[in-house]
Chain A
Amino acid sequence: MKTIYLDSNFICHITNDGTMVEVHTEAFDEICNNAIELMRFVPQGEIWTRPDGRIIYGEFIQTIDSAKIDAYQRQWMEDQERMTDMQTALEILGVTE
C-alpha cells in the first residue's frame, strides 16, 4: 500500500504541494517513485473530466510516458537487486544491524 497525491488532473505525485488529494492504493506497490509521477490514477468512484470533455471513470490507471517509466523501472529494479545482493553478502559475513 502506497500513499500518493493527486493533482487536479489526477496525475500522481509523491509529495503534496498542499493542493493535492491524498490517496492510499496498492496499484503502485511495485512501481518506483519516479515512474509513479508519470502516471495518471483516477480512484474508484471518482470521475475525471478531461480538457476535451471526455469523462473518465475510476478506477483508471494510464501511463503518461511509458518509455520513461520503463527506464525508471529498470534502474529501480537493478538497484533493488544490488541491494539484495549486498544484504546477502553481509549476512554471509555475519554482519547484522
Chain B
Amino acid sequence: MSLVLNMIGGGGSFTATDAILRVQAPSGSTVTITKGSTTKSDFGHPNINRPTIYDYYFIIHQSQFDSYNPWTITATRDSDTNTTTIIINASDEYDVSISYHVPIDLYQEVEFLQSTGTQGILFSGTYGNGTSFELKVQPTVRPSNGGQFLGFGTGSTARGNHQFDQNWGAYYHSDYQVLLAADALPTTYGIITGTFTSNQFITSLEYNGITGSHTYSYTIPSYNGSTLFYSRNNNGNAERGSSKIFYYKLWKDNVITIEAYPCYRLLDSVAGFYEKVSGTFYINQGSGTFTVGGDI
C-alpha cells in the first residue's frame, strides 16, 4: 500500500475507510476526476508491466461516497480527450481504463501498419456522394514500383473504382492525376483528404508542407467497400502496394463512420486496424504479415 500512497494525486491522506480509484490511460495523459465541485487530477506514473500505459491514483474519502452521482473521469493528451464515469460508494479499490483510439485492455496501439505488397484491409459499406475521408499514409517504395494504398469500390465493375497510388496519384476510370510531383521515395507521411459531393470528387494531399489537389467531375457511383493497402483496378483485380498507414477516417453526411487506428491484439499479437465507431477489429485479408510500428 505504501507504493500506492506515494503515487496518489490530488492530495489528501489515506485512511482505511477511503476508496482508491486507479485509472489506466495512455502515457502522456492528464487524468482529472470530477463530481460536483470536487476535482482531482494526476499526471500519472508508468505502469510497471506496460510502459505505454500510465496509472493514475486517486483517494476518494468516505464522505465523498455517493451511490447515485458518478465521478466523471476525463483523460486528455494533446488534441485527444475521452471521458467515462464510475460510481464510488464503498471503501474498496476501483479500476477503470480509458483510452483514445483503441481499448487498451484488449489492444496495443502502434505508430503504423506497414504492408509489403501482399496485405490488405477491407471496410465494408457503401460510399458515394456525401462521403468524405482522411488518410495518413507514407508509401514505402518508389513511385515507379506502382501499387495502391487506398481504394473505393471492390467489385469488378469498371466504373466503380477509385484509387490512390504510390505516386501520390488519384485515379478514376481513365482520368489520372498526380496530386503532388514527388518523383522520389517519400521522406515522411502525407495526409490525403477527399470529398464526394454533388457529383464532384475533390481530393487533396498535404505532404511536407506542400499541398496538391484535384477535382474530378463525374456521376459518382455507389462504391461498394473501401480498401487500405490496395485497390481494385478496372478489371476487378487487386493492385497492392507497399506503404505505412497511420490512421483512416471516413464520414458519411458529416457523421463519422470509420475511425481506424493501427494496433495489435493482445490476445494473439495479430495486427490490424481497430475501428472505434463500430468497435470492430479488421485484420489482414491478403497474405503475408503486416509490420507494425512501435508501441504507443
Contact = CB atoms under 8 A, between A and B. Distances in A.
A59 B289 contact: yes
A42 B50 CA distance: 19
Contacts of A54: 49-50, 266
Interface in B5-50: 48-50
26 contacts: A26-B288, A27-B116, A30-B116, A30-B117, A52-B49, A52-B50, A52-B51, A53-B49, A54-B49, A54-B266, A55-B269, A57-B268, A59-B289, A61-B291, A62-B292, A62-B293, A63-B114, A63-B292, A63-B293, A66-B112, A66-B294, A70-B140, A73-B140, A74-B185, A77-B142, A77-B185
Contacts of B140: 70, 73
A64 B51 contact: no
A81 B293 contact: no
A27 B288 contact: yes
Contacts of A58: 269
A70 B187 contact: yes
Interface in A17-43: 26-27, 29-30, 39, 42
B8 to A, nearest CB: 23
B206 interface: no
Contacts of B226: none
Nearest to A30: B116
Contacts of B294: 62-64, 66
A: contact size bracket: 20 to 34
A70 B116 CA distance: 14
Nearest to B291: A61
B187 A74 contact: yes
B290 interface: yes
Given A27-B116, A30-B116, A81-B142, A61 B50 contact: no
Report which residue of A29, A52, A64 has the largest number of chain B beta carbons within 10 angstroms of its beta carbon. A52
Contact of B289 (A55, A56, A61, A63): A61
Interface in A48-97: 52-64, 66, 70, 73-74, 77, 81
A81 B142 CA distance: 10
Contact of B242 (A30, A42, A60, A70): A30
Report which residue of A73, A77, A81 has the largest number of chain B beta carbons within 10 angstroms of its beta carbon. A77
B269 A63 contact: no
Interface string B247-290: 00000000000000000101011110000000000000000111
A50 to B, nearest CB: 10
Contacts of A30: 116-117, 141, 242
Interface string B174-212: 000000000001010000000000000000000000000
The 6 closest A-B pairs by CB, nearest first: A57-B269, A61-B291, A59-B289, A60-B269, A56-B269, A62-B292
Contacts of A62: 110, 291-294
